[in-house]
Structure 1
Amino acid sequence: MTVPLGDLQAVAGTSGTDRATFITADVTDDADRATVANDLDEAYPEYDVRTSDNQVQSMVEERTIVLASGATLVGLAVVGGVVLTANLFALVAHQQREQLAALRAVGLSRRVLAGTIGTQGLVIGLLGGLVGLATTPLAVLGVNRFAASILGFEGLLRTPPAVYFGGFALALVVGTVVAIVAGWRAGRYARIEHLEL
């Protein structure tokens, strides 16, 4: 049975309050979506019929500025995370300069010092990655509930395992690499003069 959207809203009592502007149709997994869309378009020429791929493409074309802003925010978040992590390990190395100078005085190489601070970075990256893995499903759930209340679509945001793996790997790599670089630089400046007599 097919009911025009306005009539459906009148029957449901949601005229004037329903934000829906389109109706979705589910097809079986083995159905050709383009063929179904063409059949519906011919049967109901007064409606604009699109496949899900066409709908997504249309939304992307209409919302390029929003998507570009989102991509920019993600990029800034990554760059900001790297800068904050670098700042953290520069401060850690500065606060530990006496201990690092003592280690250099007893003959430890810059590589060992960099590895020591790099291990701290690995632990912090591991903890940060685990926190990210734990909070991402909660954030996705919140965004999906918000999208369902605004757009009427449930499960709009999906995070495949690659997203979790990529985020966890990024946390480990950034934490470790930044810490190793900070440790290497700290090893250069860890001198006997920094030891208190």
Structure 2
Amino acid sequence: MSWLRRILAVGWIAARQLRSDRTRTLFAVLGVTLAVLSVTLLAGVGAGVAETGSEAFEQSGRDLWVSGGPIEVSPGAVGGFQNPISDAHALSSEIGSHEDVKLASPLAFQVVYVSPDGEEFDTIMGSGVPGASQASLSFSSGEGFVGDPHYADGEYTGEMTYEAIVSPEMAIKYDLEVGDTVHVGGTLQTAREHEYEVVGISPTFENFLGTGTVTIPLAEFQTLTGNAYDDRATIVTVQLVDGADPEAVREDLAARHPSYTFRTNEEQLVETVERQAVILAAGTSLVALGVVAGGALALNLLLSIVYVQRETLSVLRAVGITRLGVIGVAVVQALAIASLGYLLGAGATPALAAVIDRAAFAVTGFEGLVRVPGYAYAAGAAVAFGFALLGGVIGAIRVTRFTATNEFLQ
């Protein structure tokens, strides 16, 4: 049982030494905590962004996304930019004729003016969808508009429904319910002249775009925003028949329509995330800096704790404790600090993740952008105990060299 007594003695000495310099011990624990938080919160942001994006695309009920290039800034156009797809109805009809395509729907997005009373106007993201696309919308109230009769036989000459779907955010902001009216238009003049009845409240586009929206039939939206002349849309969404292979259909449609880009849900998500590459890179760099800074702080303080004990450890060495015993004392101290730091960091992670998530929601409008997965805690533990062991071992080596030098000089 001598080995057990040695282990207990090493633990007792390590604890005694940590209590003797509580301030330095506290700073070391906080350094480890910072490193753990940096890792867990970074992983939480990465996992949250990926999961939120995947959920948004899955909820859309679409399998392929067709784009005609980047949205062009056009100072003279309504809303300040021009939608990239022209002849959207014709393109959707051609895509819809594919044997594996169930539905192809052009969608248009544009900043529009809205007002509940026709007096004071705000800008909000507007969307235009064909009547058939309403099947993919979820409603918390109402049922949505019936169809899109304004687009008749290839012309924008049919009657306008003057029916609109608003998002929950917009409904709350303007105190709107089904049956109320709201003015909508691409310019202030057109908004004053066109009053729409709210026929539904749907969170679908709000969840997808991250902001409040107003949705009206596509042809009417194109007319109000100046996109009817050449039938412009932002994107065409494609829903496939059951059992169809999205990859195979994408390749086939891309060959038939080489001027357009066809993407699956996963590819569209990657494209969307890559547009934020600078922001993501900056965020990653800051968190990486946090990991390095926290780890360096913890390592430095752990080394300092061992180093300031060099004389005490030299005395222990002189009274018969082996070099392995001295190393054991340093390692036990490091592991104790790592354990406390990890517990603090892991315990604070959920609360801090919730705070960051609320801040992200306030900025982006998306919920759930910070979700800390289980592997994040494992990674935090690896950083905490990795730096701790490194500091303990290096510190112990330095101390044993110091004691060896003293022995030589004596």
The AA in structure 2 aligned to 1:143 is I
Question: How does 1:14-33 map onto structure 2 within 5 Å?
Answer: 16=122, 18=124
Residue 233 of structure 2: aligned partner: 46
TM-score normalized with structure 1 length: 0.71
For 2:326 and 2:117, locate their aligned partners in 1 and report how far apart those are by CA, in whole Å.
Answer: 70
CA RMSD of aligned residues (A): 3.6
For 2:332 and 2:127, locate their aligned partners in 1 and report how far apart those are by CA, in whole Å.
Answer: 54
Say yes or no: does 1:80 pair with 2:293: yes
Q: CA deviation at 1:146?
A: 1.3
Q: Cα deviation per residue 1:135-183 (whole Å; 9 max; x = unaligned)?
A: 1111211111112222221112211111122112321222122212211
Say yes or no: does 1:92 pair with 2:92: no
Please, which moves more after superposition, 63-72 or 118-127?
Answer: 63-72
Question: Kindly tell me: are residues 125 and 21 of structure 1, through their superposed partners in 2, closer, same or farther at Cα, counting changes over 3 Å?
Answer: farther
**SS state at 1:141 partner:** helix
Contact in 2 for aligned 1:101/1:192 (Cα 8 Å): no
Percent of residue pairs bearing the same amino acid type: 31
Q: Which one has the bigger helix percentage?
A: 1
The AA in structure 1 aligned to 2:391 is V
Residue 119 of structure 1: aligned partner: 332
Q: Which runs of 5+ in 2 are unaligned?
A: 1-106, 129-135, 139-216, 219-231, 238-263
Q: CA deviation at 1:191?
A: 5.3
For 2:398 and 2:126, locate their aligned partners in 1 and report how far apart those are by CA, in whole Å.
Answer: 59
Say yes or no: does 1:141 pair with 2:359: no
Residue 37 of structure 1: aligned partner: none
Say yes or no: does 1:183 pair with 2:370: no
Q: How many matched pairs? A: 176
Contact in 1 for aligned 2:335/2:385 (Cα 8 Å): yes
Larger C-alpha radius of gyration, 1 or 2? 2
The AA in structure 2 aligned to 1:172 is F
Which of residues 379, 387, 391 in structure 2 aligns to 1:174? 387
Say yes or no: does 1:163 pair with 2:350: no
For 1:6 and 1:70, locate their aligned partners in 2 and report how far apart those are by CA, in whole Å.
Answer: 28
For 1:181 and 1:108, locate their aligned partners in 2 and report how far apart those are by CA, in whole Å.
Answer: 19
Q: List, as ranges, runs of 4+ consecutive aligned residues in structure 1 with deviation greater than 4 Å.
A: 4-15, 20-23, 49-52, 191-194
Please, which moves more after superposition, 47-56 or 122-131?
Answer: 47-56
Q: Cα deviation per residue 1:62-118 (whole Å; 9 max; x = unaligned)?
A: 222222222222322222223212221222122211211111112323222112111
